[in-house]
Structure 1
Amino acid sequence: MNYTYLNTAKYTCLLLLVLALVASCKKDNYLTGGSKINPKVEMTTYDYLKSKPLFDTLVQLIDHAGMKDEINGKVTFFAPTDYSIRSLLLKRTTEVQLRYNDENIKYTIDSFPVNELKDSLRAYMFKEVISRENLSLSNQLYKNMVGEEFAIKLVESIDYDDIISQRPRFLHIIKIIDGLDPDPRPQDYPKEMWDKDEEVQTSGIITQTGLLHVINNQHAFYWR
């Protein structure tokens, strides 16, 4: 096997990816799923979510909670993907199966108590316009629509230091547990007090009714 060839191919692919990223940023486009899109969409936030298979389960939750109008309000919505929601559904399915000793029980969308679900979805909604242009590398504090405090900021990536001089910046949303973690966080800092930091995979989608950011697929719905 020719390892020189493999390494060359690897770095060539990486370089092409970075160049595409830089070019898209210059044009004020955004990346999602590896392709460039215009940040403005001629749809409401709800209709945009409904048009994307990645949010099929999220839309079902919104419908079950009767929150279409709220999602279409003038809010910033940090949308969890179906992967995030399904992980919670699987977890709760396991819990109820163990509780009732019945492997045939399934926790479904309809199993969510409506009031709990409303609060869970509102936890991702903010009245302020939270756009990249208004953020920096420092934490900025916001309260979601259930009164919980979050820090939101840009984080520089060091993954491309050997290729480009200007580091790309990614949007992060951080659920504050008991005051912001000290920076740097001490090694003996209790893990149950760690803030929950999530990277946004797609940011700045401007709908007809609000602003939409998409949290990464590994995020656990409602940080559970």
Structure 2
Amino acid sequence: MAFYDQLVTYISQNGFYIWEEFYRHFLMAAYGVLFAAIVAIPVGILIAKYGRISGWVLSFGSIIQTIPVLGFMAITMVVMGLGTTTVITTVFFYSLLPIIQNTYVGIRGVDKSVIEAAYASGMTKFQLLGKVEFPLAISVIMAGIRTALVIGIGIVAVGTFVGAGGLGAIIVRGTNATDGTAIILAGAIPTAVMAILADIVLGSIERRLNPANRSSA
């Protein structure tokens, strides 16, 4: 009961600060994924069209995933300094692989008979991509963005070590306190809630964009 009281007291006294860090945390993750999507979706389409380079691109993305997040941030910090830019850049690089991979799979997964029918109707390559392939692949691409955002939220929690703030700052503050379990949870619980909500919301959008669901609606 004492622990619960500590948690409630901390949240009641620092509610605005927690919300501010929650908002800051989400924006860093969202910006990183947004910038990654702007780059990764065209790259995914490109390697789907020219399969010979797909192995190189996907291997590059996989190599990034093997680097420890804190180590990658430390390297990035040397170039970009402390703060949010380093964290957003880290989220950007770690978001590339899931978005590129899902874009590649989505475009490659379009039924060949549909593509042949589109060509037969006189569509150009760009019309085919914009009106047939991309709409049919969008739900798969959204699944990659969904995965990237959930991963990004976790990455941003580490960003406090490079001066970016976010909910990770509250968690670290709790680890430095003598009896900081309540403070740790005040940062960890909103982080988990954010990841769960992001997964649910983007999952709902993904299902709505699924061609099978759109055709049956």
Question: What is the TM-score of this pair, normalised by structure 1?
Answer: 0.24
Which protein has the bigger strand share?
Answer: 1
Q: Which has the larger radius of gyration?
A: 2
Question: What is the TM-score of this pair, normalised by structure 2?
Answer: 0.24
Higher relative contact order (CA 8 A, sep 6+): 2
Which protein has the bigger helix share?
Answer: 2
